[in-house]
Chains A and B, each alone.
Chain A
Amino acid sequence: MEPTKMASPKSAPKDAQVMAQILKDMGITEYEPRVINQMLEFAYRYVTTILEDAKIYSSHAKKSSVDADDVRLAIQCRTDQSFTSPPPRDFLLDIARQKNQAPLPLIKPYSGPRLPPDRYCLTAPNYRLKSLQKKVSSSAGRITVPRLSVGAVSSRPSTPTLGTSSAQTVSVSAKVGTPVSLTGQRFTVQIPSSQATVKAATPTTPTVQNVLINPSLIGPKNILITTNMVSSQNAASESNPMKRKHEDDDDYDNL
């Protein structure tokens, strides 16, 4: 925004002139011209909110008109919601004294990456598999590719293995336990048996789990994973050059 294109003060409406004067009084000399508009909008919105609240209060008190006390009350109530200010000094000194009394905790040696307990970290998967029954009937025979991050598909013989997350794991791994048998291009999914295991697994393993892939089953060729399951809503999709062959958007519509 070039500041040269400001409206000349003479032709600006009175409110804008007042706002410009306020900015000047507060010592602000350099600003984009949009600032005045934003400030005016803010002032208008604030004042109308307060006056509306004051009207409500005064009508509740069965007064005939809005008076200063209603406005004051409206201001007070709004301020606690939007314009909070930092805590007062003595409160800060108080909590500081409390916090500073505790000695510094000792550091455990050899403990890998030092992070807070998992529930305070942002390392958990941020998606959850949808329940499985819905999709079974509707999408029989349709080829869908679950959008997985690498490391998610379990090979048939093995059940999902639980691994602890170390500093070097990629953050997301899906919990899809759809066993697939990769025999060339097309294959069927043994749904009934797997479903039970998956469902049993899901509620009990809320933490990140690493599911190992049997490398022999994955080749550089096309891998089509036929499932009748839902594809996982993988928001944190890493680059999966091996997996992402079909991107079926219908899945997202149905989810």
Chain B
Amino acid sequence: DRQTLVAVLQFLRRSNLRESEEILRREARLHGDDLGGGGVAAVASSSPGVAAVSAVPPGKVCICQLFQSFLCALAYDNAFAVGGGIVVEDQPDVSAVLSAYNQQGDPTLYEEYYSGLKHFIECSLDCHRAELSQLFYPLFVHMYLELVYNQHESEAKSFFERFHGDQECYYQDDLRVLSSLTKKEHMKGNETMLDFRTSKFVLRISRDSYQLLKRHLQEKQNNQIWNIVQEHLYIDIFDGMPRSKQQIDAMVGSLAGEAKREANKAKVFFGLLKEPEFDVPLDDEDEEGENEEGKPKKKKPKKDSVGSKSKKQDPNAPPQNRIPLPELKDSDKLDKVMNMKEAARRVRLGPECLPSICFYTFLNAYQGLTAVDITDDSSMIVGGFADSTVRVWSVTPKKLRSVKTAADLSLIDKESDDVLERIMDEKTASELKILYGHSGPVYGTSFSPDRNYLLSCSEDGTVRLWSLQTFTCLVGYKGHNYPVWDTQFSPYGYYFVSGGHDRVARLWATDHYQPLRIFAGHLADVTCTRFHPNSNYIATGSADRTIRLWDVLNGNCVRIFTGHKGPIHSLAFSPNGRFLATGATDGRVLLWDIGHGLMVGELKGHTDTVYALRFSRDGEILASGSMDNTVRLWDAVKAFEDLETDDFTTATGHINLPENSQELLLGTYMTKSTPVVHLHFTRRNLLLAAGAYTSQ
């Protein structure tokens, strides 16, 4: 009761209604109530199973406010120590409190309401039943949370006991977490549950089914459920046939329901940026002088990537200067020339011509291998370990050297041709370099495209930039105060993205100590972050089982993809930029069309989390590596041809996924108890894989 008053007072103060606030305060006789707005929510989290100890306490602890509240509590005895003392709450808690009091139905009748609805849905027509069954899970969770929030613990428990078995199997993990939340105090520490309570669960239902439901609920005895539906659910109505259970099952599973239609309507520039044309020096490689179109040898062949016969702008490609990108340095140009030469020798893959797989096994990795990355030209491999070290190996016979010290550098002849060799200090040559600096397990590593820098992100909340020329740490980017789960450099260098436990992904540039963009919107940790090949978009996969595509230019979320039934651990963009492949703990690999925002394929086969996904260099093969110790190759060309992507599908979500996982599977390659952590196609389409040998 008092809490409501306090919340209302805060609300009035926030809306600058001073007089009403004074009147209310006087009437309710609340004295000395100096609740400063926007402070820290004093939370009480006493659940042993979910102890979230953070390494760095946030700097916003208002000691004086807590002490003040403490004194008030003493002075007025138990007048204020109600339900957790004086809580300096911020906005969502206020609204949550208010909303909780909106539908204070009789707690004992919740079970009646729910079983009544269940009965109605089970007796409805077959075609509607599948769609209306989508209501069960969100309603169940919201009703349970309400009972807990209003502190009707025993009713909540019996409600849970009775109905949790009816829910779909893929929600079982959530339900287990839910079963441990029995008191209101437990909820306060759990950000994901709070977000779930305050955000609207999206359901997509056809108009017929919706009207059936509405008619039933508006009869007076079911008003309570109708209130809950209106409050917590967002029903996206479409005109058309109701969806079948199979179609629905493919798309649901995330914590926020499905995606609204508007969420996937923004235009996305998924094309690739034009590669700059420059002259390839035709030195000694005369036999490769012919460019791919078979034209006679020219003195200056054009750079040809994916058949850039058209000079005009690809309508789906972003303008070149949409986001600022670093200019090409000479070393970059040399690299591109090398790339082209290698590309000419590339093996064309296909169902008849599968790539060879070279597996790098980390033996004796008792340190706990947690992250792996390989450079684009496959010359170096880095491993991030649970003992907070980052180890860099050279994969080629050329050893790793660090640059000479300043004194020696002044001695060398700067004009000589091999100055780049001379600046290297031979005495430091070794195959392995160990980088110390982090204070927690390293969860993500990424090489820069020019191989000068290495990024690593760790549980200590920082992202570190290491120089690969001196093998020392250059910068520590602090911003996430919670474990950072993944990081990646942009394909053009300079920018990098990181995602962590604080549910946001951040875009950084190497020369800014603060992030440039913050991508907030996920309901749970961001577990995987990847750049689009044109560097204008970022895909983030999260523990709330959705994948979001963000625009780098303005930070907006342009796509939401739902359908996975577990946290997402791997993402891969196809080389042409049009498709996205995602892998999660449910063992499925899902394929998405970015332009239309639809799921276009499902690859079943793995039995455990898919930790690594990679398309081959020209996009013909998709390789997936998983915790079940296998690497599987899938035919990407076939998966993406003949797609039914028209407006009807987009609007209604009537996807028809062909059950062709078996046909698309080109091969399964088993390792000997080594989970596959990373996959990489070399420039010539040899597949490299990496993992740490686990003895059981």
Q: Which residues of B contact A110 (CB under 8 A)?
A: 327
Q: Return the CB mask of B336-372 against A: 1 if under 8 Å, else 0.
A: 0000000000000000000000000000000000000
Bound together, the chains give a CA A102 to CA B293 distance in angstroms of: 45
Q: Return the CB mask of A71-92 against B: 1 if under 8 Å, else 0.
A: 0110111011111111111111
- Asked if A123 lies at the interface with its beta carbon under 8 angstroms from chain B, I say yes
Quick one: which of B44, B78, B408, B504 contacts A96, CB cutoff 8 A? B504
- Provide the main secondary structure of the chain B interface: loop
Say yes or no: A92 contacts B504, CB within 8 Å: yes
Say yes or no: B73 contacts A150, CB within 8 Å: no
Given A82-B57, A239-B428, A75 and B555 contact (CB-CB distance below 8 Å): no
B266 to chain A, nearest CB (A): 15
Say yes or no: B519 contacts A96, CB within 8 Å: yes
Bound together, the chains give a CA A235 to CA B602 distance in angstroms of: 54
Bound together, the chains give a CA A179 to CA B93 distance in angstroms of: 67
Bound together, the chains give a CA A161 to CA B93 distance in angstroms of: 60
Given A76-B84, A151-B406, A105 and B509 contact (CB-CB distance below 8 Å): yes
Bound together, the chains give a CA A135 to CA B533 distance in angstroms of: 60
Q: Return the CB mask of A220-241 against B: 1 if under 8 Å, else 0.
A: 0000000000000000101101
Q: Which residues of A contact B195 (CB under 8 A)?
A: 88-89
Q: Which residues of A contact B176 (CB under 8 A)?
A: 25-27
Q: Return the CB mask of A18-31 against B: 1 if under 8 Å, else 0.
A: 00001101110000
B184 to chain A, nearest CB (A): 12
- Asked if B324 lies at the interface with its beta carbon under 8 angstroms from chain A, I say yes
B169 to chain A, nearest CB (A): 14
Number of interface residues of A (CB under 8 A): 72
Bound together, the chains give a CA A227 to CA B159 distance in angstroms of: 81
Q: A39, A73, A81: which has the most chain B beta carbons within 10 Å?
A: A73
Q: Which residue of B lies closest to A2 (CB)?
A: B696
A63 to chain B, nearest CB (A): 9
Q: Which residues of A contact B78 (CB under 8 A)?
A: 69
Q: Which residues of B contact A107 (CB under 8 A)?
A: 324-327, 494, 509
Q: Which residue of A lies closest to B54 (CB)?
A: A84
Q: Which residue of A lies closest to B82 (CB)?
A: A69
Say yes or no: B90 contacts A99, CB within 8 Å: no
Quick one: which of B57, B327, B494 contacts A84, CB cutoff 8 A? B57
Q: Which residues of B contact A157 (CB under 8 A)?
A: none
B336 to chain A, nearest CB (A): 18
Q: Which residue of B lies closest to A19 (CB)?
A: B48
Quick one: which of B61, B93, B180, B324 contacts A81, CB cutoff 8 A? B61
- Asked if B583 lies at the interface with its beta carbon under 8 angstroms from chain A, I say no
Say yes or no: B502 contacts A100, CB within 8 Å: no
Q: Which residues of B contact A85 (CB under 8 A)?
A: 43, 45, 52, 189-191
Bound together, the chains give a CA A75 to CA B74 distance in angstroms of: 16
Bound together, the chains give a CA A61 to CA B82 distance in angstroms of: 17
Quick one: which of A26, A93, A102, A241 contacts B180, CB cutoff 8 A? A26
Q: Which residues of A contact B410 (CB under 8 A)?
A: 212
Q: Which residues of B contact A113 (CB under 8 A)?
A: 452
Q: Which residue of B lies closest to A27 (CB)?
A: B176
- Asked if A60 lies at the interface with its beta carbon under 8 angstroms from chain B, I say yes
B353 to chain A, nearest CB (A): 40
Q: Return the CB mask of B153-192 against A: 1 if under 8 Å, else 0.
A: 0000000000000000000010011011000010001110
Say yes or no: A104 contacts B553, CB within 8 Å: yes
Within 8 A of A (CB), among B453-481: 465, 467, 469-470, 472-476, 481
- Asked if B98 lies at the interface with its beta carbon under 8 angstroms from chain A, I say no
Q: Which residue of A lies closest to B515 (CB)?
A: A99
- Asked if A7 lies at the interface with its beta carbon under 8 angstroms from chain B, I say no
Q: Which residues of A contact B179 (CB under 8 A)?
A: 25
* Pairs A–B under 8 Å by Cβ, sample size 12: A23-B49, A73-B70, A84-B481, A88-B195, A90-B91, A96-B517, A96-B519, A104-B552, A114-B509, A150-B405, A150-B407, A170-B402
Q: Which residues of A contact B (CB under 8 A)?
A: 22-23, 25-27, 39, 42-43, 46, 57, 60-61, 69, 72-73, 75-77, 79-93, 95-97, 99-100, 102, 104-107, 109-110, 113-117, 120-123, 149-151, 163, 167-171, 173, 210, 212-213, 215, 236, 238-239, 241
Q: Which residues of B contact A (CB under 8 A)?
A: 40-46, 48-49, 51-54, 57-58, 61, 66, 70, 73-74, 78, 81, 84-85, 90-93, 173, 176-177, 179-180, 185, 189-191, 194-195, 198-199, 323-327, 402-411, 423, 427-428, 437, 452, 465, 467, 469-470, 472-476, 481-482, 494, 501-504, 509-513, 515-521, 523, 552-556
The 8 closest A-B pairs by CB, nearest first: A100-B555, A151-B407, A92-B520, A120-B513, A86-B502, A114-B511, A96-B520, A96-B518
Q: Name 20 extra pairs, CB < 8 A, besides A73-B81, A85-B43, A99-B516.
A: A25-B49, A75-B45, A76-B44, A77-B42, A79-B42, A80-B43, A83-B52, A84-B58, A87-B502, A88-B194, A91-B90, A96-B517, A97-B555, A100-B518, A104-B552, A116-B510, A120-B475, A122-B475, A170-B402, A212-B407
